[in-house]
Chains A and B, each alone.
Chain A
Amino acid sequence: MTYNYFPGCSLKGLGRAYEESLLPVMRHLGVELAELDDWNCCGATAYMSVDERMACVLAARNLALAEKAGPQDLVTPCSACYLVLNKTKHYIRDSPDMSAAVGRGLGAVGLKYSGNTAVRHPLDVLVHDVGLDVIKEKVVRPLKGLKVAPYYGCQVVRPYATFDDAWNPTTMDRLLKTLGAEVVHYPLKTKCCGASLTGTVPEAGLRLTYILLKEAVRRGADVIATICPLCQFNLDAYHDLVERRWGPARIPTVYFTQLMGLAFGMPAKQLGLGRCFVPMKPLPEVPAPA
């Protein structure tokens, strides 16, 4: 199986551990992710606030590059990229004005986009294309006894996702169970992490982060699993500020792909697990068969 791959800026920066774990895990399952040539920033939520039309043109360049690279689906692991690329597809389809602007922009550089490329999240691909049975076969180090809080955040499940429920998604829950982990009941799984407000308006943003961390601790989780680089950063890198203000809420946050890698027997270091502010404890030794 081969897919076009749009990493997004975060996976080359703050979220590099996501790519470091995603690529080997996918390869291990026989999925090849071919990075788009010369992709550009999707624009994220920030560009949409400045100029929606230009934001769409910007994102459309990536869709056009994907189409040029072949008919495969486009896989993007970052929630913001996933949302913006899907939103752009909708806008091009629904708004003649937007579609004209995109056509003009792409046309000027010899690109075109016909609207067909499917934009998908790795979670969707793993559960629906690869399949949990195949994943199960690759598990050599089951995550027995590891209690995981599955945290989806907002923009993968809302409002454009078609592969899971907007309020109670379960794809990652099922995936984690397949790895042998114990999935704790975590009703905040789709609540906002605070996004960039953690940096710009900390009194509001960090409180959202705190609530997520505290609830995961209260539920007895050992680790939070996330599918988004910004969620990972917010839940991992602000412990100092959060705990100084509201009290202890220490718990590591890792990408779901890192947990997959561990279950596949890959070394923690190669999966970027050394990049967490709050490190995850090593998995307990497997007792030798008697």
Chain B
Amino acid sequence: MEITRTVKYEAERVRGFGKEIMAVPGCDRLQSCIQCGTCSGTCPLSVYMEHSPRQIMALVRADFKDEVLRSNSIWLCASCYSCTVECPREIRITDIMYALKQRAIEEGTYPKRFPIPVLAREFAAMVRRKGRITETLLVMRLFMKANWRAVLGSWRQGLGLMRTGRFVLTQEHIERRAELATMLAAAANGAGKEKDAP
């Protein structure tokens, strides 16, 4: 029998982590969680998660930062919003999952080569460069970055897409790409200044 440790130690807490997450827009109601487990019950993916959504809520509130950010749970959330709609305390659990994903990407604490964060980053990069997503090209980039062998497993699907005329090889893009870049830079710059301000 494998013996695993489930006790959490005070020393593993990163003081202030819970507060930081609760400061993200939409995440403030986490404090009122009553640990009823309705979120875990409605979540279609909780059975695959290292920590159920209810456990994630408790761990965040108790400042167990590393445990939360390294867990596959936040990446398995498909944003179906079942938990958010069902939560009796009106906690926006899906938005908290987003806040945690952002933190994990920011700090690089997600499982390396795990395809979901790679997809998110590649997606964002394509939008910033082109203004639009061309799904087939995005998926091919993802395969190259995360798991090139997966291309071989998907050949039937590729053929199917070609047969049905859905395999798009020319990159869609907007006309005013410079406008998009200026807009994002301006929005980001201001945020930097606010952060630096005393």
Give the interface of A toward B (CB within 8 A): 9-10, 12-14, 16-17, 38-41, 43-54, 57-58, 61, 91, 94-95, 97-98, 100-102, 104-109, 111, 154-155, 158-159, 166-167, 191-192, 194-197, 199-201, 203-205, 208, 237-238, 240, 274-277
Query: Measured between C-beta atoms, what is the minimum distance from A36 to chain B in Å?
Result: 11
Given contacts A13-B172, A58-B180, 13 further A-B contacts (CB under 8 A): A9-B132, A13-B136, A41-B133, A54-B184, A61-B183, A91-B25, A98-B25, A158-B82, A195-B79, A197-B45, A199-B139, A201-B76, A201-B115
Interchain CB contact (< 8 A) of B85 among A16, A53, A159: A159
Binds A, one of B10-18, B29-37, B56-64, B95-103: B95-103
Query: Measured between C-beta atoms, what is the minimum distance from B114 to chain A in Å?
Result: 8
How many B residues face the partner with a CB closer than 8 A?
A: 61
| Contact status of A52 and B157, CB under 8 A, knowing A108-B186, A195-B78 | no
Is there contact, CB below 8 Å, between A104 and B186?
Answer: yes
Is there contact, CB below 8 Å, between B102 and A52?
Answer: yes
User: Which residues of chain A are near B168, meaning CB under 8 Å?
Assistant: 12-14
| Contact status of A166 and B76, CB under 8 A, knowing A49-B101, A51-B124 | no
Whole-angstrom distance between the alpha carbons of A135 and B78 in the complex? 35
Query: Measured between C-beta atoms, what is the minimum distance from A14 to chain B in Å?
Result: 5
Q: How many A-B residue pairs have CB under 8 A?
A: 190
- A-B CB proximity, top 8 nearest: A105-B187, A108-B186, A46-B123, A154-B80, A192-B80, A158-B81, A95-B25, A195-B78
DSSP class of A's interface residues: helix, strand, loop or mixed? helix
Is there contact, CB below 8 Å, between A200 and B164?
Answer: no
Give the interface of B toward A (CB within 8 A): 24-26, 44-45, 48, 76, 78-82, 84-85, 94, 98-99, 101-102, 105, 115-117, 119-121, 123-124, 127, 131-136, 139, 142, 156-157, 160-161, 164-166, 168, 172, 174-176, 179-180, 182-191
| Contact status of A102 and B187, CB under 8 A, knowing A14-B161, A43-B127, A47-B124 | yes
Is there contact, CB below 8 Å, between A9 and B25?
Answer: no
Is there contact, CB below 8 Å, between A52 and B135?
Answer: no
Query: Measured between C-beta atoms, what is the minimum distance from B137 to chain A in Å?
Result: 9
Would you mind naming 21 contact pairs between A and B with Cβ atoms under 8 Å apart?
A: A13-B168, A16-B165, A40-B174, A46-B124, A49-B117, A101-B187, A105-B183, A105-B187, A107-B186, A108-B183, A158-B85, A159-B85, A166-B85, A192-B82, A197-B78, A199-B142, A200-B142, A201-B76, A204-B45, A204-B48, A237-B160
Most buried by A among B175, B180, B182: B180
Is there contact, CB below 8 Å, between B175 and A275?
Answer: no
Whole-angstrom distance between the alpha carbons of A209 and B164 in the complex? 21
Is there contact, CB below 8 Å, between A49 and B105?
Answer: yes
User: Which residues of chain B are near A102, meaning CB under 8 Å?
Assistant: 187
Is there contact, CB below 8 Å, between A50 and B102?
Answer: yes
Whole-angstrom distance between the alpha carbons of A10 and B136 in the complex? 10
Query: Measured between C-beta atoms, what is the minimum distance from B150 to chain A in Å?
Result: 8
Query: Measured between C-beta atoms, what is the minimum distance from A195 to chain B in Å?
Result: 4
Query: Measured between C-beta atoms, what is the minimum distance from B97 to chain A in Å?
Result: 9
Query: Measured between C-beta atoms, what is the minimum distance from A239 to chain B in Å?
Result: 9
Is there contact, CB below 8 Å, between B127 and A48?
Answer: no
Whole-angstrom distance between the alpha carbons of A276 and B161 in the complex? 9
Is there contact, CB below 8 Å, between B134 and A13?
Answer: yes
Is there contact, CB below 8 Å, between B123 and A14?
Answer: no
Is there contact, CB below 8 Å, between B165 and A196?
Answer: no
| Contact status of A41 and B127, CB under 8 A, knowing A50-B120, A201-B116 | yes
| Contact status of A91 and B133, CB under 8 A, knowing A101-B187, A275-B165 | no
Interchain CB contact (< 8 A) of A109 among B24, B131, B142, B183: B183
Is there contact, CB below 8 Å, between B187 and A57?
Answer: yes
User: Which residues of chain B are near A195, meaning CB under 8 Å?
Assistant: 78-80
| Contact status of A13 and B166, CB under 8 A, knowing A41-B133, A46-B120, A91-B25 | yes
Query: Measured between C-beta atoms, what is the minimum distance from A140 to chain B in Å?
Result: 27
Cβ-closest chain A residue relative to B122: A46
Interchain CB contact (< 8 A) of B115 among A111, A154, A200, A238: A200
Query: Measured between C-beta atoms, what is the minimum distance from B19 to chain A in Å?
Result: 16
User: Which residues of chain A are near B187, meaning CB under 8 Å?
Assistant: 53-54, 57, 101-102, 104-105, 108
